[in-house]
Structure 1
Amino acid sequence: MDRFVSRVAIIGAGPSGLSALRAFSQAEKTGVKVPEIVCFEKQTDWGGMWNYNWRTGVDEFGEPVHSSMYRHLWSNAPKECLEYADYSFDQHFQKPIPSFLPREMIRDYIVGRACASTLKKYVCFNSVVKHVEFDDDRKHFTLRFHNLVTGKSRSENFDYIIVAVGHFSIPNVPSFDGIDSFPGRILHSHDFRDARQFTGQNILVVGGALSAEDIALQTYKFGAKSVTISYRTKPFGYDWPPEIEELPLLTHIDERTVHFKDGSKRTIDSIILCTGYKHHFPFLTEDLQLQTENCLYPDQLFKGIFFQRQPRLAYLGMQKFYYSLPFFDAQAWYLRDVILGRIVLPEEEDRASDIRLWRERVKQLSGPSEGIDFQVDYARQLLDVTDYPKVNLLAAAAMFKLGRVHKQENILEFRDKLFTSPFTGTPSVANTVRWIDAKEDGIL
């Protein structure tokens, strides 16, 4: 281990932060000396985005609500693509389960691995990081945090900072002509909590990514009269039920009448903006803040992790990703081994060259299937130099692609499909009820 690395701060105890904690914990179990690890989590429990919070706007402490999670959410990829290599779904649930799971089961699985690793000793809950700066003379970071329960603030010094706060909590909210006079409800998907609020309504969903797809299905599932999806670039093109349609981007709003680029118009009761999120790190000094859009390879991060301007600052999970949980592990294990001195980072110019190579490859991608392959190659080059258990990335990629085929075949039934774990060989079992008919919110 680098003799100067004695303390490491992890900001956030969601899936990325927990992967980092797990990586250090596993090394320590083998007798490796690791730095002192302190994880700061502003919520009362770990789980990050997977913590459902009925509140919107601000929480009980007046802090912005982090989670964008809503009731009745199910995974949109088979669990077999999300499985940890060192902690299987079989190990956690002790029985075969369906491939597509409600949010509570995914959170239970994530937290289950953390509990099995006794990671809570590292985490300071209800502790929001307010300011981080780097001292060039002393070569360390100063981090100031505020305990939301006691009301007390304190500053501590660290050799490494790991930012693991995610990038799905600060909404990107566009404006449209006439939106200020719309008499119905307007909300961003960040504040969407329960589709039953929209039963019997004509809904407009603005957006063309996964949240727009899923919220359109959710509102349809729970009885919306109609759902119009307004896309900016291209339609999803699924064989939607008659109650769901796709139209190009809206141009303006006149009371309850919404006008679209193709000249059509619809009468709308509520508008849900599924227009994405911003990478936002107000607790970092400006020179340390990652500036990027939601992309497969941010141009300021070496190996998608290390801040080029100051490589002792690391970001986890900042990419647009097809994988999630195993993807976070790949980054966390690589990051851990750099901090432990097992992997030596190249000089700045060589890091920049490596970033350019990956960025150029991104420019050549022609669609989601190639994006999946890109992320396989990215994860493999991280995993191949660590001691993370063997992962069959090609099998996971094949399942992702097959899931996309299932969506095109029947958007209402793709979550009823069955897959087999590449780790345990256990086939999933069918749910007792079809997804479209599953109206409860809990563990199966």
Structure 2
Amino acid sequence: MVRKSVAIIGAGVSGLAAGKVLLEDGFDITIFDRHKTLGGIWSPDRAYFHQHTQTTANLMEFSNLHDTEAMDCAPWQNIHNYLKRYANKFYLIERIRFETKIILIDKNDLKNGKLPWIVKVETASGDHETFEFDLIVVATGLFSTPEKPNFRGQNNFAGSIIHITDIKSEDQLKNKRIIVIGGAKSAIDMATLAAMHASSCHMVFSHSYWIIPHKILHGYISLDYGFSRIFTHIFDPFPNAPHSAAFYFLHRVFSFVFTKITDSIANFLISKYKSDLFADEKFIPKGSIRNAHNIMRVTKEFVAMIRENRIIRKLASIDEIIDKTTIRLDSGEFLQADLIICATGFIETFPFLSETLTKILVRNTTRSTSDEGIDLDLYRRIIPIGIPNIAFIGLPAPLHTWMFYEVQCHWMSDYFLGRIKLPNTEKEMLEEIETTRQFIYKMFKRKSYYFQYYWLEPMEIYLRDMGLSLYRTNNWISEYFGVYRPKRLSTLHDERKAKAEGKTRNFWYFSFQHTILLFLFLLFLWFFF
């Protein structure tokens, strides 16, 4: 049997996960990346100075390689080194073509699955090459193109206006009056650094975000348990999630109970940070935490800098740059600055896709959001409708991204192998896309990529599609109340292989019903013996 060739675009987290799964499934892979080394946003080319994770140890790792060097809020160098170890362990490194920019992906007939894809690239030396591949995996993710806003009067500014990814050293900040645009995680990182080294630091952002500490629910529960099955159940059910009828009944009848739980979390956060982050009530986020546009953890250093007024926050936007150093905010305030750092995130772009392909991918997109960027029409957020042999990995952005991407890759590989049963009609696939899009917009007012709390239910949809068990431990207590760690997915390849070969998985799960039966049996013994 001839091995099918696959071009994977991007050697970041999702690209490496895709490479590992596809290689194990017998595909001939080539990974292209425009940078000098792997890692995506965790590579030296992309990471900003002082970049670090906001998770606890061992949540940002893959199921088949435990990170023995993991630590809470790890610096980007640790993550980069882990990804290098992963690429070496699974023989991916020799399949990566670095400093190779994708110019075009196209084919003569997009709907003809027998025709190869044409991939045109540009090398570091400026040479152009053309390749043919059976399959395409786009794994550039959501963080490939920095978004840097334009400001009225910016030509008047004598200093620099740069994106946060261009900050590579603390020396760039020393003795400068700095404005950090943005209020999310990267802005917090940079403001903390600027407060240590710059002469002044202002954070300017248009809306506040919920801040999550290391412990929640009045300090009794570690934030890790936010990544448990039971915790995900307090939110509105995700469309088409594999829940029981009883689960949906509880959410319909007792929705106020689940709302009460999240309100309690929000009240705890407000009380915890009332003396510093929320001392001025205008910085308390508006709306329910259930519908939070973004949430993040903060460091003790950031809180200390706020308390000491070394970071001055402004709930506003830049209205105009008046002269060489003067910035006017839409609040009417004026700030002096030598450097403006845009911690404004990224924009979703796919410039290498042909114009014809792009038009098909966005043909049914509703423009109901105010965000910029492309919201692709992808069934299960992976494959386009009617265009075979191409998949997108790493576009949804739930809180538990690495595990999510890994399960996506297994689903994608099964799809390429012809094992996934798709809906009978394109109409059904479009309905799935639009239902998800409208649900995410209703919950978070964002494009359909931003899943936020919804990491488990979409993963379980993938598992159900593959015919695999949703239960990833051997008993209901650890299944529902334990932290959902990557090692739960370590047997996915073997499970998929066994299913394809018609073998039955030998798996014992001690369910809640078993517990009830055991209790009744012991009660019977106690009464009669």
For normalisation by structure 1, the TM-score amounts to 0.74
1:373 to 453, 456, 461: 453
Offset at residue 309 of structure 1 (A): 5.3
Larger radius of gyration, structure 1 or 2?
Answer: 2
Residue pair 2:21, 2:409 contacting (<8 A) in 1 also: yes
Aligned partner of residue 107 in structure 2, secondary structure: strand
Question: Aligned pair 1:82/2:60, yes or no?
Answer: yes
Query: Aligned partners of 1:380 and 1:318: how far apart in 2?
Result: 17
1:253 to 291, 300, 321: 321
1:224 match: 198
How has the CA–CA distance of structure 1 residues 296 and 379 changed in structure 2, closer, same or farther, with 3 Å as cutoff? farther
1:417 match: none
CA displacement, residues 340-359 of structure 1 (integer Å, 9 cap, x when unaligned): 11213333212111112212
Query: Any stretches of 5+ residues in structure 2 without a counterpart?
Result: 212-276, 278-302, 489-529
Question: Aligned pair 1:363/2:452, yes or no?
Answer: no
For normalisation by structure 2, the TM-score amounts to 0.63
Which residue type is aligned with residue 249 of structure 1?
A: S
2:144 match: 169
1:156 to 131, 139, 150: 131
CA displacement, residues 366-421 of structure 1 (integer Å, 9 cap, x when unaligned): 599x95432321222224445699768x999999xxxxxxxxxxxxxxxxxxxx89
2:15 match: 17
2:462 to 361, 373, 382: 382
Residue pair 1:235, 1:246 contacting (<8 A) in 2 also: no
Query: Aligned partners of 1:89 and 1:225: how far apart in 2?
Result: 38
Query: Aligned partners of 1:100 and 1:106: how far apart in 2?
Result: 10
Question: Aligned pair 1:51/2:38, yes or no?
Answer: no
Question: Aligned pair 1:328/2:405, yes or no?
Answer: yes
Which residue type is aligned with residue 379 of structure 2?
A: F
Structural mapping, 1:105-254, within 5 Å: 105-136=78-109, 139-149=115-125, 152-220=127-195, 222-234=196-208, 238=277, 240-241=306-307, 242-247=309-314, 248-254=316-322
Residue pair 1:86, 1:389 contacting (<8 A) in 2 also: no
Query: Aligned partners of 1:297 and 1:354: how far apart in 2?
Result: 18
How has the CA–CA distance of structure 1 residues 388 and 206 changed in structure 2, closer, same or farther, with 3 Å as cutoff? farther
* Stretch of structure 1 that moved more, 315-324 or 7-16: 315-324
- Higher helix proportion: 2
Q: How many residues align?
A: 374
Offset at residue 187 of structure 1 (A): 0.9
Query: Any stretches of 5+ residues in structure 1 without a counterpart?
Result: 28-33, 54-66, 400-419, 426-444
Structural mapping, 1:260-339, within 5 Å: 260-289=329-358, 298-308=375-385, 310-339=387-416
Residue pair 1:23, 1:336 contacting (<8 A) in 2 also: yes
Query: Aligned partners of 2:2 and 2:205: how far apart in 1?
Result: 50
Residue pair 2:59, 2:486 contacting (<8 A) in 1 also: no
* Stretch of structure 1 that moved more, 336-345 or 281-290: 281-290
Which residue type is aligned with residue 348 of structure 2?
A: H
Aligned partner of residue 85 in structure 2, secondary structure: helix
1:342 match: 419
Offset at residue 45 of structure 1 (A): 2.8
Residue pair 2:399, 2:454 contacting (<8 A) in 1 also: no
Residue pair 1:4, 1:159 contacting (<8 A) in 2 also: no
CA displacement, residues 41-72 of structure 1 (integer Å, 9 cap, x when unaligned): 2333322222213xxxxxxxxxxxxx2x1233
1:413 match: none
Residue pair 2:347, 2:372 contacting (<8 A) in 1 also: no
2:300 match: none
Aligned partner of residue 345 in structure 2, secondary structure: coil
* Stretch of structure 1 that moved more, 336-345 or 232-241: 232-241
How has the CA–CA distance of structure 1 residues 367 and 213 changed in structure 2, closer, same or farther, with 3 Å as cutoff? farther
